[in-house]
Structure 1
Amino acid sequence: MWRIRRPQCPGILRYAHVVQSQQGHPIVYHPDFKISPLKLGHRFPMPKDHLVYVRLKELGYANATFTPRCPDSETLSLVHSRSYVDSFIAGTISAEKMRRIGLPWSEELLKRTLIGVGSAVLAARLALQYGVAAMCNGGTHHAHADHGSGWCIFNDLAVAARAAQRDAGVKKVLFVDLDVHQGDGTAAIFWNDPSVFTLSVHCDAQSFPAPLHKSSEDVALPAGTSDREYMQVLEEVVPRVLEQFQPELVLYNAGVDVHKDDALGKMSLTDEGILRRDKFVFSACANACVPVACAIGGGYQEDHTRIVERHVLLHRAAREALPALSQVALFRKAQRNSTN
Structure 2
Amino acid sequence: MVKYELIPEQLLYEGLVTPESFFEPELASKETVCLAHDESYVESLLQLQLDAKMIRRIGFPLSQELVDRERYILDGTIRSAMYAQQFGISFNTAGGTHHAGFDFGEGFCLLNDQAVAASYLYSQHLADRILIIDLDVHQGNGTAHIFRNHSAIFTFSMHCDKNFPFVKERSYLDIPLEGGISDESYLAILRQHLDYLFEEINPDFVFYQAGVDILETDKLGKLKISSRGVRKRDQMILQTCFDRKIPVQISMGGGYSPHIKDIVNAHVGTFRTAIDIFSF
Q: TM-score range by the shorter chain?
A: over 0.9
Greater radius of gyration (CA): 1
Q: Counterpart of 1:126 in structure 2: which amino acid?
A: Y
Q: Counterpart of 1:62 in structure 2: which amino acid?
A: V
Residue 113 of structure 2 is aligned with which of 156, 163, 172?
156
1:147-201: CA deviation from partner (whole Å, max 9, x where unpaired) = 1000010011000101111235211110110000111111111012110111111
SS in structure 1 at match of 2:90: strand
Partner of 1:209: 165
Aligned partners of 1:242 and 1:288 also within 8 Å = no
Partner of 1:332: none
Percent of paired sites with the same residue: 37
Once the two structures are overlaid, the 10-residue window that deviates more, 168-177 or 264-273, is: 168-177
Q: Counterpart of 1:173 in structure 2: which amino acid?
A: I
Residue 58 of structure 1 is aligned with which of 7, 10, 13?
13
Q: What is the deviation of 1:243? A: 1.4
Partner of 2:2: 47
Q: Counterpart of 1:223 in structure 2: which amino acid?
A: G
TM-score, structure 1 as length reference: 0.80
1:179 pairs with 2:136: yes
Residue 43 of structure 2 is aligned with which of 53, 65, 86?
86
Partner of 2:34: 77
SS in structure 2 at match of 1:310: helix
- Give me the whole-angstrom Cα distance separating, in 1, the residues matched to 2:247 and 2:199: 14
Q: Counterpart of 1:100 in structure 2: which amino acid?
A: R
Unaligned runs of 5+ in 2: none
SS in structure 2 at match of 1:320: helix
Aligned partners of 1:134 and 1:318 also within 8 Å = no
Residue 235 of structure 1 is aligned with which of 191, 212, 215?
191
SS in structure 2 at match of 1:186: helix
Q: How does 1:110-121 map to 2 (within 5 A)?
A: 110-121=67-78
- Give me the whole-angstrom Cα distance separating, in 2, the residues matched to 1:144 and 1:243: 28
- Report which structure shows greater RCO (CA 8 Å, sep ≥6): 1
- Give me the whole-angstrom Cα distance separating, in 1, the residues matched to 2:209 and 2:248: 10
Q: What is the deviation of 1:79? A: 0.6
- Give me the whole-angstrom Cα distance separating, in 1, the residues matched to 2:27 and 2:233: 31
Q: How does 1:188-267 map to 2 (within 5 A)?
A: 188-206=145-163, 208-267=164-223
Q: What is the deviation of 1:93? A: 1.6
Partner of 2:84: 127
SS in structure 2 at match of 1:139: coil
TM-score, structure 2 as length reference: 0.96
1:117-141: CA deviation from partner (whole Å, max 9, x where unpaired) = 1111111111111100112111111
Partner of 2:126: 169
Aligned partners of 2:27 and 2:75 also within 8 Å = yes
Unaligned runs of 5+ in 1: 1-45, 327-340
1:289 pairs with 2:245: yes
Q: How does 1:309-324 map to 2 (within 5 A)?
A: 309-323=265-279
Q: How many residues align?
A: 278
